Every structure is written in structure tokens, then in C-alpha cells.
Amino acid sequence: MGLIIAENVTFQYPHSVAPVFQCFSIQINRGEITVLGGKNGCGKTTLTKLLVGILRPSEGSVKIDGCDCACMSLFDIGRRVGYVFQNPNRQLFCDTVFNEIAYGLRNLGFEETLILQKVNYYLELFDLTRYRETYPDKLSLGEKQRLAIASVMVLGTDYLVLDEPTTGLDARRQQELGDTLVKLRHERNCGIMLVSHPNSLIKRFADRELVMAQ
């Protein structure tokens, strides 16, 4: 089974008087949905940035399928671990939904025939086909969330990290997001970790629930 493992990780921001956390370990498995909870300020968002290579640990290690992230570029990590921000508007910038999903593939030099095939698959998977020529800013928050996920998953990532994806979503849209994540787990054997509030509806879809202490 593939996994991401953070082992005995300590992280401290420059000029900070104390580390955000010390000797912290966590494991994210392929084919599982893990929900990470905890009080504000306990380091959940910092941890997500360590798992996707945006930050590097002060001590300890983060490994993806046995490969130490210290030996990988941010680009290489991004090909294996997709990251979706709390606010999807921060990562949507193309003129249509189709081009948003196709953007990364075009940057990697994929042939247009293959791009069309892959984008159509993810439009269908995320129930966005009817919006293929729509300007992303016209979508609802839940639709933007699905588009942001599709845009990283189309690159073939094996893992997905989402930071507070339920923020601003009502119960119905949280249900839709949960259904989407379950579909990814089944169809792509994707390992998924999402930061979420402890009482969120999204916990219904989790295989594991972890809580970070303050």
C-alpha cells in the first residue's frame, strides 16, 4: 500500500519563539480518506504545507511512497500530491472550466487528443460537463471546489490534501463534496487528507479521524 508518512516532524517558523509542533508523526494511506481536526492554531494548515512540500520540516522527515521529500523538488512533489486551498478562487485563473483542467497538462506538453480525453473524463467525474465553456468565477463555491480538485487530479496525483474544504458550504454541498471524495477513493485509489472542523458533516465519509492537540 502506498503512503505518505511524516515522521517525528518538528517545524518552527523563522523568528518564532516556539515550534508549531514537535516530534509529530502522521500517515496517509492510499485508498483512504483521513479527516484531520483540532483547534485553531494547533498547526493543521502548517502540516498540510509540509505534506505537499511548500514548507520543509525543521527536524524529521516527510516521505511519499518511501521517497524523502528533502530529495524532491516542489514540482515533483506536486505531481504526486495535489493540494487544494481553503479558498478555491486562489487557484482558478483560466477563462473556461475546460481550460482550467487542461492547463497543467498543456504545460507538461501532452498532446491535445490526450488532453481532450483526460479533461472529458474529469468533467464527467466531477459533474462539470455542462460548465465546460463557463468562466470559473460564475460557478458556485461547491462547483469551484470540485473544479480545483479536478485540476490537480488530472495530473495523475496519487494523493490529495484539502485545507478546510467545507468552509462556506451548506449541508447539501458538503454532502456533494463527500460523494466526490468517495468516488476518487474508489476510482483512483486516491489517498485523501482533509482538514475539517471536528463536527463537520464530512466526517461521515472518513475512514479515519485524527485530532491534533494544541
pLDDT in tens, 201-214: 677 888 998 888 76
pLDDT computed for residue 1 by the predictor: 59
Higher model confidence: residue 2 or residue 116?
Answer: 116
pLDDT at site 100: 97
**At a CB cut-off of 8 Å and minimum separation 6, what does 113 contact?**
none
Residue 183 lies in domain: 3-212
Of the pLDDT bands very low, low, confident and very high (cuts 50, 70, 90), residue 53 is very high
The answer to whether residue 59 scores a pLDDT higher than 90 is yes
pLDDT at res. 201: 65
Average per-residue pLDDT in the chain? 90
- As for how many domains the chain has, the answer is 1
The pLDDT assigned to 200 comes to 63
* pLDDT number for residue 58: 93
- Reading the block at residue 77, the C-alpha cell is 512533489
Of residues 30, 35, 28, 33, the one with CA closest to residue 6 = 28
What are φ and ψ of residue 193, in 5° steps?
Answer: -125, 130
Is the pLDDT at 198 greater than 70? The verdict is: no
For the segment 89-101, the average pLDDT, to the nearest whole number, is 94
Locate 91 and state its grid cell: 487557484
pLDDT, residue 214, reads 63
Say whether pLDDT at 57 is over 80.
yes
pLDDT of residue 31 exceeding 90:
yes
Most confident of 35-39, 134-138, 152-156, 168-172: 134-138
Written as nine digits, the cell of 191 is 489517498
pTM of the model: 0.88
Q: What DSSP element (H or E) covers 141?
A: helix 141-153
Which single residue is written with the C-alpha cell 509540509? 50
CA 208 → CA 29, 82, 115, 173, 213, distances in Å? 10, 19, 34, 21, 16
Alpha carbon dihedral 127, 131, 132, 138, in 10-degree steps, equals: -130
- The CATH number of residue 81's host domain is 3.40.50.300
Burial 91-124 (b: 16+ CB within 10 A, else e): ebeeeebbebbbbbbeeeebeeeebeebbeebbe
